[in-house]
Amino acid sequence: MANSLSGMVGDYLFEQRIRSDRVSLETLAARVAPLMAESDAVALHDQLLAAGGELGGRILLLDQNGKVQLDSYGELYGNRLQYPEVTNILVKGQNVDYGVHELDTGASLDTSNLLFMRRSNGAWVGYCTAGIVHASDIIGVLLLVSPVQEMMQNLYQLQDQMMLIFVVIAVLALLCSLVFSQVITNPIGGLMRGIQRMSKGDFSARVRVRGSGEMKHLAQAFNSMSEKLETLDQSRNQFVSNASHELKTPLATMKIMIESLIYQPDMDKELRTEFMGDINSEIDRLSAIVSDLLTLVQMDSQNVKLTRENLSIAQMVKENAHRLQPIADQKGQEIILTLSDPCDIYADKSKLNQVIYNLMENAVKYTQANGQVKVTLQRIGRDAKLTVTDNGPGIPKENLPHIFDRFYRVDKARSREKGGTGLGLSIVHQLVLLHGGEIYVESEEGKGASFIVELPLHQG
């Protein structure tokens, strides 16, 4: 661009000069044409010498063969000049032509490559030629040689300025591309590295959030995605390790008991029966854990189908109270039902039953002897609100946020003693969500706990 721009400016500089030279030379050619045709050498000589002085240059008259017939400097008589400006007139039939040459070398000036033109200290001259036409024939050529040193100086200056502009633009372009690479390419590169790390299983990969606009949103989206994946990965690992631990404990207990049976064949019959009973209950425990795990995995795979039917929640609460009554009686506990509405619902019977049973079973299980378990059912707008409250030990504040986590138990040793695996509430939670409802807990340590389930009675 800088080159073609300087070419244009260069051309413009010369054009002024060419125009004036060309007009004067054409006028002169027209004037000398009849003199040349008549071979009036004296008049011709006078005319040309006078014109040379007027135009401030050297005038040469050439014949049809390009031979010098007259030179206002009187030096080149008889020489044949092969300048392109001359041949363009004699051979190609142009009327006028112009070119700039270095005097010593004859090299011509090329304005199309001005920026990178080689400089010389030599003198530069302009050759302006015009054909001398007589009776439609070119009978000779007039050549005006004029000094253009001043113009060349201007041109050199122009070259310097253009070169400077060129360098400045090149540096700016470089800077721009650097900035662009910082702003666009680098963040994309960072994101790519993050994605590669993540594809290798490293979910701790995060990218720096910089700048504004789309790139910033992309980086934020990536970070929140990797954060979620990391949490998911951690909870999956936690789940697997908890599950293995839960399965290992009954297996270890059973192994010890079975080994005792094997290595003590003369064991007391009563003790043997007790061991067998213990092994049997460990097997029950194992199969309960496995079936809970299966329920959870099935719900995770998100293809659980709800087999809905018309049910009354009040009726289901009554049935579960009936089931739990013997245990409550054993502990001297009271189960109080306040069912103000039947709360008819279209839901999955066995799953809803699991929700009610687990909550009521927990209340009975964790409340001390002679305690109280209250179950209330109300209809609030389009929702059923089921509350299971006990006056047991309650749940400490710091444990509340984790109460619905898998395998989470407040008092690990005690609740295992009671046969719990810590899966009950997480299953309840999932089942309530599946029915489009909500579950939350309100409790204070030492003051009992309330589990509240809100279920929409009409779907859709």
Ligand X SMILES: Nc1ncnc2c1ncn2[C@@H]1O[C@H](COP(=O)(O)OP(=O)(O)OP(=O)(O)O)[C@@H](O)[C@H]1O
Residues forming the site for ligand X (CB under 6 A): 358, 362-363, 366, 390, 392-393, 395, 403, 408-411, 415, 420-425, 449
Cα–Cα separations (whole angstroms), residue 293 to 143, 227, 233, 351, 408: 107, 26, 18, 15, 14
How far apart are CB 407 and ligand X at their closest, in Å? 8
Is 72 a binding residue for Mg ion by CB under 5 A? The answer is no
Residue among 246, 250, 261, 326 at smallest CA distance from 293: 246
d(CA 147, CA 127): 9
Mention every residue, 6+ apart, whose C-beta is less than 8 A from residue 396. 410, 445
Longest CA–CA span in the chain (Å) reads 158
Task: Give the whole-angstrom CA distance, residue 363 versus residue 255.
Answer: 33
Q: In what order do the strands lie in the sheet with 372-380?
A: 334-339, 372-380, 383-390, 449-456, 438-443
Structure tokens at 159: 């070259």
Least distance between ligand X and beta carbon 243 (Å): 12
Residues with Cβ within 8 Å of 391's Cβ and at least 6 positions away in sequence, in order, are 367, 371, 372, 447, 448
- Least CB distance to Mg ion at residue 384 (A): 22
User: From the list 424, 427, 435, 437, which residue makes contact with Mg ion (rule: CB under 5 A)?
Assistant: 424
What does 410 bind: Mg ion, ligand X, none (CB cut-off 5 to 8 Å by kind)? Answer: ligand X
Q: Please choose, out of 109-117, 240-248, 280-288, 416-424, the segment that lies near Mg ion by the rule CB under 5 A.
A: 416-424
The least CB distance from residue 300 to ligand X, in Å, is 16
Binding partner of residue 408 among Mg ion, ligand X, none, CB cut-off 5 to 8 Å per kind: ligand X
- The single residue among 72, 226, 320, 362 that binds Mg ion, judged by CB under 5 A, is 362
| Nearer to ligand X (CB atom), residue 228 or residue 245 | 245
C-beta of 411: minimal distance to ligand X in Å? 5
Tally of CB atoms within 10 A around 371: 19
- What residue is closest to Mg ion based on CB? 424
Tokens of 190: 């960072």
Partner whose footprint covers residue 395, from Mg ion, ligand X, none (CB < 5 to 8 Å by kind)? ligand X
Question: Which residue number, 69 or 389, has a Cβ lying nearer to Mg ion?
Answer: 389
Q: Rank residues 145 and 360 by Cβ distance to ligand X and give the closer one.
A: 360
Residue 406 CB, shortest distance to Mg ion, in Å, is: 12
**Calpha distance 233→195 (Å, rounded):** 16
Is position 422 an interface residue for Mg ion (rule: CB under 5 A)? Answer: no
Instruction: Name the binder of 409 from ligand X, Mg ion, none, CB < 5-8 A by kind.
Output: ligand X
Which DSSP letter does residue 400 get? Answer: G
Owner of token pair 């300048």: 83
Which residues here bind Mg ion, judged by CB under 5 A? 362, 424
